[in-house]
Amino acid sequence: MKALPLPKSFDENEWFFILTVLGMLFLYRIIPKRFSTSTTLLLLIFPATISRLTDKFLSAPDKDLYDVFDSPAFELFDLFAYTMYAPFGYFFIYLYDYWKLKGLRLVAYIMVWGVFSIGFEWISHQFHVFKYKDFTFSLAFSIYISSHILTILYYHLIISLTSSLKMSKF
């Protein structure tokens, strides 16, 4: 087998991925800048890494829940696919910070994003980005909810570290 094989055929799943990334890049460019460069960088890296690690720890042969793109092998587009998650985390925190959500509104916000994530997952499935095996949407929903909560905690960690670095500068 080859390392990072190219797609067997360049079809709807690859096009879906490319158009999604382009759409998100466009959205990122048109919305007003809200965070500092370092926070933006860290917010973009976190979802990509968390999704990669989740995929790795949920992957075969311990568990075989789904394949990404054309085959069970780790393809070049599998690697690129994680860039798709990066803007999701950014937009999630962007709106969270914009609306300054707390309490029940925050719980509702996380739930709505969970449903939105599942919706996106379902659309990806229609374009054959994912091929499900022992996978269930209820499992995905709980993973998404956990990762959204983790992302909020991570954001607050970054903010508190940034503040303490600022304090130490003065």
Nearest CA-CA partner of 89 in 13, 147, 167, 5: 147
Q: What are the contacts of 147-150 at 24+ separation with CB within 8 A?
A: 147/47, 147/50, 147/51, 147/54, 148/92, 148/110, 148/113, 148/114, 148/117, 149/110, 150/50
Contact 155, 43 (CB under 8 A): yes
Interaction of residue 161 with another protein, rule CB under 8 A? yes
C-alpha to C-alpha distances, 76 to 8, 69, 107, 124, nearest whole angstrom: 11, 10, 37, 17
Q: Does 99 bind another protein (CB under 8 A)?
A: no
Residue of the chain from 6, 12, 49, 134 that contacts another protein (CB under 8 A): 49
Residue of the chain from 13, 24, 42, 84 that contacts another protein (CB under 8 A) = 42
Tell me whether the omega of the peptide bond preceding residue 87 falls within 30 degrees of 0, making it cis. no
Q: Which residue has the tokens 């959500």?
A: 101
Residue span binding another protein (CB under 8 A) among the ranges 9-17, 52-60, 133-141, 142-150: 52-60
- Among positions 103, 104, 138, 169, the unique one binding another protein when judged by CB under 8 A: 169
Three-state DSSP state, 65 = coil
CB of 27 to another protein, least distance (A): 18
Which of residues 8, 33, 105, 133 is near another protein by CB under 8 A? 33
Is position 53 an interface residue for another protein (rule: CB under 8 A)? yes
Does 80 sit near another protein (CB under 8 A)?
no
Give the footprint of another protein on this chain (CB under 8 A): 1-5, 32-39, 41-42, 45-46, 48-49, 52-53, 56-57, 59-62, 72-74, 78-79, 82, 97-98, 157-159, 161-163, 165-166, 169
